[in-house]
Amino acid sequence: MRRKILVTGGAGYIGSHTCVELLAADYDVVVIDNFSNSKPAVLDRIAAIAGRAISWHEGDLRDRALLQRLFSQHHFAGVLHCAGVKSIPEAQQFPLKYYQHNLEASLTLLDVMSQHGVHKLVFSSSATVYGEAARLPYREESPLAPNTVYGRSKMMVEELLHDLVQADDSWHIGILRYFNPVGAHPSGLIGEDPNGQVNNLMPHLCRVAIGRQDALSVFGHDYPTPDGTGVRDYLHVVDVAEGHVKALQHISAENGLITLNLGMGRGYSVLEMVRAFEQVCGNHIPVRFVARRQGDLASYYADASRAADILGWRAKRGLLEMCADAWRWQSNNPDGYL
């Protein structure tokens, strides 16, 4: 009998790659997704990669009745909570939306989990909870001082999870702080396909390379970094997905709460990413240098040693593999999921 896991946001970029790795680890998967930043077509692609189907339900985590039905219908061994909204600039404009989708939705999910005796949770958090104050590389015990609404919405859920574990030791919780997931499953069947406004660097690089965008706007060329452009800790999305499975396996054996960085432990600049992508796609990527983007920090990257020590997890796919897999996805799906 396979253990069954609920993946919230399972049709999304991180969620879909995590579903593939869960299925490969012989779990059964049920997805709930409101398709606000994803499409149902992803679910067929996941099944094609895994060679077996997954159950899925369209809906919003704030719909308590829907969650009650889901938890009555399925006996979940645990939940991977990947659903959320994640655009830093949009969060600055619409804070209420971000607190509703990231905080309120998590509260409803946790309440229904508790009512049904499901106490194992892996939560998708973000390196943006650290903010400018933390020394580099970011360590899990670094002080949290997010400088964006998005980062604060994630930090509030983390604090809520700490309070929950303090009050009830039957909870087993893993908080995963992602740095910058990029790339795609090597099959080229699933990848990053944001609906509407594109914010992240890698989708923009892919769109320039495929001709959907004429040039890459580089946000700032005067940062205190080796080449003046922003530095981030990029890691392959399949490494992130594997980290989720290892975290789930770890918390299934240990109650309490553990917080882990998921990163490579080193940074690359925007221009280094451009050069790596050009090497992989064989096309020139025109760039234009523009003003810094509000909320951006110059440079941050992870100390990921705790995940290695506790989970035996390391990000093992290098920069060229990240770019090659992202490019294969984009080449195979020039207009994303249809």
Give residues in contact with ligand WQD (CB under 6 A).
86, 88, 126, 128, 178, 180, 199-201, 204, 216-219, 230, 232, 270, 293, 296
**In the bound complex, what is the minimum distance in angstroms from residue 72's beta carbon to ligand WQD?**
32
Our CB check for ligand WQD shows the closer of 187 and 299 to be 299
Alpha-carbon gap, residue 244 to 27, rounded angstroms: 13
- Work out how close the CB of 47 gets to ligand WQD at its nearest, in angstroms, rounded to a whole number: 26
Concerning whether 150 is annotated as a catalytic residue, the answer is yes
Nearer to ligand WQD, 30 or 307 (CB): 307
Q: How far is the CB of 318 from ligand WQD (least distance, A)?
A: 18
Of 150, 178, 234, 301, which residue is the catalytic one?
150
Q: How far is the CB of 75 from ligand WQD (least distance, A)?
A: 30
Indicate the burial class of 29 (C-beta count within 10 angstroms; 0-12, 13-18, 19 or more). Answer: buried
Tokens of 64: 């308590």
Please, which residues have CB within 8 angstroms of residue 65's CB and are 6 or more apart in sequence? Answer: none
Pick between residue 134 and residue 216 the one whose CB is nearest to ligand WQD: 216
For 255-267, the DSSP string reads -EEEEEEES-SS-
Kindly tell me which of 118 and 241 has the beta carbon lying closer to ligand WQD. Answer: 241
With 0-12 / 13-18 / 19 or more C-beta atoms within 10 angstroms meaning exposed / middle / buried, residue 135 is exposed
How remote is the C-alpha of 49 from its chain's centroid?
20
> Distance between CA 177 and CA 233 in Å, rounded?
12
Residue nearest ligand WQD, Cβ-based: 230
What amino acid positions are annotated as catalytic residues?
150
